[in-house]
A and B are shown apart, each in its own frame.
Chain A
Amino acid sequence: MRKSKYNDIKNIFIDSIDNDNFVELPLTTFNYQTLEDSLNKPLKMILLFGRPGTGKSMILNRLYHNLKNIREIHYFDAPILSEKEFLKSIYESISSEKIPNNMRVNFDGLLKYVQNLKGRREITFLLDECQLYSEALMEKIRLLSDTRVVKFVITLHKTENEDIIAKEHFKTRIWEIVELRNASIEDLEIYIQKKLIQKGFVEVANMFTPKHINFIHHFTKGNFRETNKFLYTLFNIYEYYDINTPEKLLGTKLSKKILEMTAIKIGYIND
């Protein structure tokens, strides 16, 4: 079986937070800049806040890769739910020492160790998916940030109910909040075009008309994760036709039928 170009195209839209896949949009650039500026302020905690799929992890990842050579920064991309493991990871990151599995980090000891670094070091921790951390662990994070040696950038999912709760929980501790939102139609168009052009698929990028972008935005609401899922499925179907019945893909624009089939496949349209 011959390989279709659409196989490569669909893989562009696999949901990943790789720095290579980061697409600079007016909206994300602004948010990124705000976040980077906040790190230079004497703040204890910074909250990156937004609905799932708005690009929180992507920004956090980009921030880590851009600053890892400039400042002391550590990125916990997956939540560490065990308190023991979390404190161990923090200590290992700061001290660069490997702690044996049969030993554990005492929080008071860690606090004193961090306080001793005051004035000498400034360490930044990027914590993703913080909504999964326990209340007790969040309290320990706050105490560590109070030393002003360790700074935390935390991301929180914003859901219908968590919206106010999250803000209430951190309102006395967070000094800077950066809220991420879904992309507008214009942002979404730039996002799709840039994604394809970055990988050299200019002719495929030209297949998208404003009508198609509107169609995709209507269902995905500008959510990047949903858009990636939509485009992955779309090019998956294209791949099938390209291999089995290529005569059906003669047009220079995207097929409305395939767009609708994608929406049916994902469940946006009930057949």
Chain B
Amino acid sequence: MINVKELEKRWIKYKTKSFMIIAFMVTIIGSLIYGGYYILYKLDFSNKKEHKKAVMSAVRVVDEKNISILTPPSSTPLPPTPTKEPKKDIIQLAPTIPIVDFDNKEIKIKKKEIKHIVQHKKRLVKRVKKYKPKKPKLKKDIKPKIEVHKEEKIEHKIKKINFKITTNNYMNIMKQKFNKNKNPRDALLIAKAYYRAGNYKESEIWALKANNLDKNSEESWLLFAKSKNALGKKREALKILIAYYNKTKSPDAKLLIEKISSKSI
């Protein structure tokens, strides 16, 4: 008769082996599925690369057309670091400071200080306006009071000076930082600050600097075009934007083109 016990042992061995094979196959299939997912993810990544390439080629197209974004325009020498900040603009520049918010905490603190000063200034002006003498006073008596008023005004001016110093410091810090690191983001922030301050010539220069360092920075393209437009070079601005839009299909670029075309900017 057949040795069934021995055969049973062989069968158990076979089943174990089969189970191992199935487990291995499941692992392989699982790995393949995961691998496929990973590759798909990679493909998305490569699409981003392609997008980058498209922007790069857009830059090349612009270069071929001799659009001034890649070469410093003749009217704007490159890159003269401004020796003097226009004093009148200093107070106007104050609102541009929030741009730096996401850069570092120190500047945030400065921003709070500035806000506090502005509020204090407003309060002082109100007080001065509201001030009314209760009794009729002699000319002699009035004089000193007027002096007090003047003193308050002087104090107000002092605040302004402090404010100026803070803003100047900020711009200087940013420029120093840029000169040290050559970070396109810093250049862009400076360009933005100038643009908001209405100094379009400087914003154009700094946007160009940012673009030279990072050709893929959409903001630098848009800000450069906006600065051009603000300087009255509408046609040039549109040419740059259209070239950029044709390559990247950027909705922001399209919006800006429409805005410039309809003179709503």
Chain A interface (Cβ within 8 Å of chain B)? Answer: 233, 236-237, 239-241, 244, 257, 260-261, 264-265, 269-271
Q: What is the CA–CA distance of A260 and B4 in the complex, to the nearest angstrom?
A: 12
* Binding stretch for chain A, among B7-15, B80-88, B91-99, B168-176: B7-15
Chain B interface (Cβ within 8 Å of chain A)? Answer: 1-2, 4, 7-8, 10-11, 13-15, 17
Q: Tell me how far the C-beta of A218 lies from the nearest C-beta in chain B, rounded to whole angstroms.
A: 15
Residues on A with beta carbons closer than 8 Å to the beta carbon of B2: 233, 236-237, 240, 265
Residues on B with beta carbons closer than 8 Å to the beta carbon of A269: 14
Residues on B with beta carbons closer than 8 Å to the beta carbon of A241: 4
Which residue of the partner chain B has the closest CB to A245?
A: B4
Q: What is the CA–CA distance of A264 and B11 in the complex, to the nearest angstrom?
A: 7
Q: What is the CA–CA distance of A269 and B11 in the complex, to the nearest angstrom?
A: 10
Are B7 and A265 interface neighbours, CB within 8 A? yes
Which residue of the partner chain A has the closest CB to B14?
A: A271
Q: What is the CA–CA distance of A188 and B13 in the complex, to the nearest angstrom?
A: 30
Q: What is the CA–CA distance of A199 and B17 in the complex, to the nearest angstrom?
A: 39
Are A261 and B11 interface neighbours, CB within 8 A? yes
Residues on A with beta carbons closer than 8 Å to the beta carbon of B10: 261, 264, 271
Q: Tell me how far the C-beta of A234 lies from the nearest C-beta in chain B, rounded to whole angstroms.
A: 10
Residues on A with beta carbons closer than 8 Å to the beta carbon of B8: 261
In addition to A240-B1, A240-B2, A261-B4, 4 A-B residue pairs with Cβ atoms within 8 Å of each other are A237-B4, A240-B4, A261-B10, A264-B14
Q: Tell me how far the C-beta of B125 lies from the nearest C-beta in chain A, rounded to whole angstroms.
A: 97
Are A261 and B7 interface neighbours, CB within 8 A? yes
Q: What is the CA–CA distance of A239 and B4 in the complex, to the nearest angstrom?
A: 10
Residues on A with beta carbons closer than 8 Å to the beta carbon of B17: 271
B2, B4, B10, B13: which has the most chain A beta carbons within 10 Å? Answer: B4
Q: What is the CA–CA distance of A121 and B101 in the complex, to the nearest angstrom?
A: 121
Residues on A with beta carbons closer than 8 Å to the beta carbon of B1: 236, 239-240
Cross-chain pairs A/B with CB under 8 angstroms, 5 sampled: A240-B1, A257-B11, A265-B2, A271-B10, A271-B17
Q: Tell me how far the C-beta of A230 lies from the nearest C-beta in chain B, rounded to whole angstroms.
A: 13
Are B4 and A271 interface neighbours, CB within 8 A? no
Residues on B with beta carbons closer than 8 Å to the beta carbon of A244: 4
